[in-house]
């Protein structure tokens, strides 16, 4: 589950690549309708990175502006060639919500929480019931990074 500096990822066609300069702040599964739509699945995996904690190279991503289920404005970045969603950013937050599935190796990713479970598909209930879940977003945004710190600290202690 430890995601550390040096991990790499990018879009499907490799026109955009990135490298993590630091460890992420959080890793969680989001069941909001926007994540379901953009992932073409039941949820999306989001990995919070400080804007200066990730380095991009290659083509500049294309962007579109929208609002999330919370109503907050966000910028969504994707590859203009293959359409792979790479990240979104709530306007002015300084945090990129990188689509964790765009990492080259996702085999060890385990989300520490599930959010927007009120929008979850019924067949995901067993998965959701096994972890810490929030019906919408946590009221305190510090909860997700704290859960990540605890989980990665516990893993390092083993």
- Per the structure block, which two tokens stand in for 136? 């919408």
List, for residues 105-138, the tens digit of each pLDDT value.
999 898 999 999 999 999 888 777 777 788 888 8
**Structural domains counted in the chain:** 1
Residue 134 lies in a domain: yes
Quick check: is 2 in a domain? no
> Is there a domain that residue 90 lies in?
yes
pLDDT, mean over the chain: 90
In a domain, 1, yes or no: no
Helix, strand, coil distribution of the chain in percent, nearest 5: 25, 35, 40
The C-alpha atoms of residue 132 and residue 23 are separated, in whole angstroms, by 21
Q: What six digits make up the tokens of 12? A: 């499907």
For the stretch 57-95, pLDDT in tens is 999 999 999 987 778 889 999 999 999 999 999 877 889
């Amino acid at each position: 589950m430890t995601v550390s500096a040096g991990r790499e990822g990018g879009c499907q066609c490799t026109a955009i690549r990135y490298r993590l300069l630091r460890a992420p702040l959080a890793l969680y599964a989001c069941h909001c309708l926007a994540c379901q739509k953009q992932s073409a699945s039941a949820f999306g995996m989001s990995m919070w990175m400080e804007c200066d904690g990730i380095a991009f190279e290659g083509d500049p991503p294309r962007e579109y502006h929208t609002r999330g289920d919370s109503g907050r404005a966000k910028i969504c970045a994707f590859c203009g060639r293959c359409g792979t969603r790479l990240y979104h950013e709530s306007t002015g937050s300084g945090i990129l919500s990188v689509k964790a599935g765009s990492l080259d190796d996702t085999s060890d990713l385990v989300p520490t929480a599930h959010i927007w479970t009120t929008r979850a598909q019924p067949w995901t209930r067993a998965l959701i019931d096994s972890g810490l879940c929030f019906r919408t977003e946590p009221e305190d945004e510090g909860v997700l990074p704290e859960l990540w710190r605890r989980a990665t600290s516990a893993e390092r202690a083993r």
